[in-house]
Amino acid sequence: MEGFHDLLKMLDGMLGGAWWFPYVLLGTGLFFTIYLKFPQVRFFKHAWLVVTGKYDKKGSEGDTTHFRALTTALSGTVGTGNIGGVAFAIFLGGPAALFWMWATAFFGMTTKFVEVTLSHKYRVKTADGTMAGGPMYYMDRRLNMKWLAVAFAIATVISSFGTGNLPQSNNIAASIESTFGFDPLVVGSILGILLGLVILGGITRIAAVTSKIVPLMALIYLVGALAVIFANLENIGPAFASVIGDVFTGSAATGGFLGATIAYAFNRGVNRGLFSNEAGQGSAPIAHAAAKTDEPVSEGMVSILEPFIDTIIICTITGLVILSSGVWKEKHQNVFDRSDMMIVAGAYSDTDDNDRKELYAYINDLDTSTVAPYNGDIQIVNGKSISTGYTLLNARSVAENVKFTFGEDEDLFTGKLKVVDGSLIKDNIVVSGKSLIHSASLTALAFTKGFFGESGKYIVSIGLLLFAFSTAIAWSYYGDRAMTYLLGPRSVMPYRVVYVFAFVWAAVSDTTLVWTLSAVAIVVMTLPNLLGIFLLRKEMKESVNEYWDDFKKEHKS
């Protein structure tokens, strides 16, 4: 299993973590934005009117309305990435990462417009009477690339578990346990039953539920976020300035934060933008293919709104909460994750300018770095180190008030700890202290810096519950449409049953392997989809021009 995990990490580095992937993703959106003459701007107002049903026609084939198709797709994209993903992007890339998330969303609005239009155009009615669509259908029916369609569909099934199911369940259970103290198995079981009741009813019930969950969760989250933003209103201007300024200068090493390079901020921002709004991934077109309309372009118009709502609105709100509260560059008491922790040779302080420059170069893998990993023993007495000649870093900061414990009762450790290449060898030692924090924990802390005080963290927990649960609902539909393409309608019910049981299991399991598998599967979905829509660029342009000409004639004032 360890060898398989290493293989996945290597593939992730070659694909999603590769330097060229953000350029391919952003470049495709930029190309179509210019090629189609900025449809995200030209058709923005029209898209809102289509969503309201203003131009609906009776008798159009489909399983759900424009609005419910939109909320189903949004429920798949608006998830833990909007809460923890933004915090993680800022943690890794600094404020500039938020700018690149905006850029990804802006150009992603066009990418999603294209992929949804083409997927809706080549959808099919299955044997059970429901609609099935998605990139695998235009790859098969229009491009005659069956092998590519099969690869995409398999990757979609994998991602439905790795993105929409297991991590969401695990995040919900962990958040509810830390906030309210409920047992993860109980949480997973209850939500698993609710998930089953929803998804076993198919797209009609899924769309009905998401059309209520999405507005509710957005409202709850917005209220909590605005409570922080207005409480720190004087910091909003500087927050925006830091986002724009760091794009050109790289993130400054301020406070406890040791900064990030311009390239790193770009990479993190674009990747988190994709994980948040899924523009180009090919997942949302599966939901939109069920919409009742005979005009594929009109459904493409609806999808323009997704990256705008998901990233430009919700992710920006999260980013402003984190930046205006100031918690992103402050040290807080926490238990150190081994993946965030490194031990370097020599004594360094992040209050010394020269030391900060050295650590900045080391953390960002710059050639100018002279810092080296520590090798040797550390003597611990009653949980405290009495050794010198090393510095413990956690989460891009110099750790303070470090304590070493072991066992379930967190007994203070006394003895020697061996360090090899900057990592502790002993696995059962718990290390805690003050350092920077990231992901959902950072967002939860930021929400306590508003008018609601400590109660703000409950808004994050409730938001995380609703966001993650709705994501699981939407991805179950993506997976069952992929199964329909691969093995036919009869495979859907067994898939749904496995999906529900996996959701319960993940509440009490380690999903690290699944996250890595999902990261690879996302790229396997994205690259074929981007290739496919590029090959059909002329057809897309003709379809848009024809639709818009007909619309203007029909609604001539």
Read off the pLDDT of residues 79-127 as tens digits, 9 standing for 90 and up. 777 787 788 778 777 788 888 888 888 999 999 999 999 999 999 988 8
- pTM of the predicted structure, to 2 decimals: 0.83
Which is higher by pLDDT, 103 or 73?
A: 103
Measured in Å, how far apart are the chain's first and last C-alpha atoms? Answer: 66
Q: Among 30-34, 246-250, 387-391, 398-402, where is mean pLDDT lowest?
A: 246-250
| Confidence band of 542 (pLDDT split at 50, 70, 90) | very high
Q: How far apart are CA 376 and CA 98, in angstroms?
A: 40
Residues 28, 29, 32, 38: what is their CA dihedral angle, to the nearest 10 degrees?
A: -160
Q: Is the pLDDT of residue 1 over 60?
A: no
Could you give the residue ranges of the DSSP H alpha helices within 278-315? 284-288, 296-303, 305-307
Q: What local confidence, expressed as pLDDT, does residue 230 receive?
A: 92
Q: Is the pLDDT of residue 364 over 80?
A: no
Q: What local confidence, expressed as pLDDT, does residue 510 receive?
A: 63
| Confidence band of 275 (pLDDT split at 50, 70, 90) | low
Three-state secondary-structure class, residue 260: strand
| Confidence band of 154 (pLDDT split at 50, 70, 90) | very high
Q: 458-473, pLDDT tens digit by residue?
A: 888 888 888 888 888 8
Question: CA nearest 463: which of 190, 225, 203?
Answer: 225
Q: Is the pLDDT of residue 24 over 70?
A: yes
Q: Quick check: 137 and 528 in contact, CB under 8 A?
A: no
Q: Is the pLDDT of residue 523 over 50?
A: yes
Residues 178, 182, 188, 194: what is their CA dihedral angle, to the nearest 10 degrees?
A: -120
CA distances from 156 to 53, 127, 164, 506, 523 (A): 30, 21, 10, 19, 10
Q: What is the mean pLDDT of residues 146-162?
A: 90
Could you give the residue ranges of the DSSP H alpha helices within 401-449? 439-446
Q: What local confidence, expressed as pLDDT, does residue 253 receive?
A: 47
Q: Among 158-162, 293-297, 365-369, 515-519, where is mean pLDDT lowest?
A: 515-519
Q: How far apart are CA 210 and CA 71, in angstroms?
A: 6
Residue 109: both structure tokens together = 């609005």
Q: What is the mean pLDDT of residues 321-341?
A: 87
Question: CA nearest 325: which of 247, 230, 249?
Answer: 230
Question: CA nearest 528: which of 137, 183, 253, 161?
Answer: 137
| Confidence band of 216 (pLDDT split at 50, 70, 90) | confident
| Confidence band of 11 (pLDDT split at 50, 70, 90) | low
Q: What local confidence, expressed as pLDDT, does residue 515 receive?
A: 61
CA distances from 394 to 258, 340, 535, 541 (A): 11, 5, 46, 50
CA distances from 398 to 251, 352, 424, 457 (A): 17, 11, 16, 26
Q: What is the mean pLDDT of the chain?
A: 84
Phi first, then psi: give them for residue 194, nearest 5 degrees.
-65, -40
Q: How far apart are CA 430 and CA 414, in angstroms?
A: 13
Q: What local confidence, expressed as pLDDT, does residue 338 receive?
A: 83
Q: How far apart are CA 19 and CA 26, in angstroms?
A: 12
Measured CA angle at 302 (ends 172, 132), to 5 deg: 75
